[in-house]
């Protein structure tokens, strides 16, 4: 799928190119274009090829203690398979199988693999509902879990492909913590952001599984550009997907994690529902505040 360069990415590229040109000129005392290219390449290499993921809203259903329940302090939250509810809850989220793989790069350490970082992931189910919050699934805690990055900076989750509910582009929420101890304490996330899913994949999934029937019409009414989170830029948040709905999908994204103090808050664009809230006409949704 071809994706046009977003406004945020374009501005970032212009700023980076300008800074690299100035730095190269000062270092060499000339306007040698080779020096400029070499400086830009060195900058990319130092960051491990990762762009800093933007700070985004956690939305109203994070389950991290900032708005109601805190799943992070519950025994069993550290798990790879998040399709099932755990602890005192039971239930399985149905939908197209999805493996989510995030590769963390610590930009405060020159883009080194984010070994030991913990990632909390959550997203809506096939009906557009969020466990613990939406009507009908308040007694479920599926599609939420924590993993710790290995030496390669990777975390992997087994899940199902999320729905498209009215007013939002299909997405996955995540928080990055410096360590598992910090994560399960339920506080001090270093980064809160979201993952955008490619349009062609969304269309294939929603056409394949009739359980996503409402997502077909919802997707037709929103674009990445009109989404209230991704509307100001999505290049660092758009995942790569391989596989097929019939056999399972693999969703991958490299996440550049800057120091918490350096995180750039997204402008959150324009959109009908603030904070990623499922609107009143979505299954299990609540009216916007």
Instruction: Tell me, letter by letter, the H, E, C secondary structure of 9-32.
Output: HHHHHHHHHHHHHHHHHHHHCCCC
Residues 128-137, mean pLDDT to the nearest whole number: 98
Q: What pLDDT was estimated at residue 187?
A: 85
3 state DSSP class of 152: coil
Q: What pLDDT was estimated at residue 204?
A: 98
Residues 96-118, mean pLDDT to the nearest whole number: 98
- Within 8 A by CB and 6+ apart from 106, the residues are 112, 113, 114, 117, 153, 257
pTM of the full predicted structure? 0.80
Neighbours of 276 (CB within 10 A): 26
- Within 8 A by CB and 6+ apart from 100, the residues are 121, 156, 157, 158, 159, 172, 195, 251, 252
pLDDT band for 195, please (50, 70, 90 cuts): very high
Distances (CA, A) of 133 to 53, 124, 272: 27, 10, 20
pLDDT band for 49, please (50, 70, 90 cuts): confident
pLDDT band for 139, please (50, 70, 90 cuts): very high
Q: What pLDDT was estimated at residue 186?
A: 86
Q: What pLDDT was estimated at residue 276?
A: 43
């Amino acid at each position: 799928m071809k994706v046009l360069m977003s406004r945020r990415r374009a501005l970032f590229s212009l700023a980076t190119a300008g800074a690299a040109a100035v730095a190269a000129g000062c270092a060499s005392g000339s306007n040698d274009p080779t020096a400029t290219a070499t400086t830009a390449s060195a900058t990319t290499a130092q960051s491990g090829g990762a762009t800093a993921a933007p700070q985004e809203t956690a939305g109203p259903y994070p389950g991290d203690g900032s708005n109601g329940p805190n799943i992070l302090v519950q025994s069993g939250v550290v798990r790879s398979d998040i399709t099932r509810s755990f602890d005192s809850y039971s239930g399985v989220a149905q939908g197209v199988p999805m493996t989510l793989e995030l590769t963390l790069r610590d930009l405060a350490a020159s883009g080194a693999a984010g070994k030991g970082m913990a990632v909390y992931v959550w997203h809506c189910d096939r009906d557009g509902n969020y466990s613990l919050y939406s009507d009908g699934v308040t007694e479920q805690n599926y599609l939420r879990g924590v993993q710790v990055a290995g030496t390669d900076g990777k975390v992997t989750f087994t899940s199902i492909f999320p729905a498209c509910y009215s007013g939002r582009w299909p997405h996955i929420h995540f928080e990055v913590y410096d360590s598992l101890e910090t994560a399960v304490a339920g506080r001090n996330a270093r980064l809160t952001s979201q993952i955008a899913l490619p349009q062609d994949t969304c269309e294939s999934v929603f056409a394949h599984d009739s359980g996503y029937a409402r997502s077909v019409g919802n997707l037709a009414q929103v674009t990445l550009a009109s989404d209230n989170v991704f509307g100001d830029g999505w290049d660092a948040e758009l995942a790569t997907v391989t596989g097929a709905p019939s056999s399972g999908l693999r969703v991958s994204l490299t996440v550049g994690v800057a120091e918490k103090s350096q995180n750039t808050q997204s402008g959150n664009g324009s959109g009908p529902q603030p904070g990623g809230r499922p609107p009143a006409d979505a299954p299990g949704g609540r009216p916007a505040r």
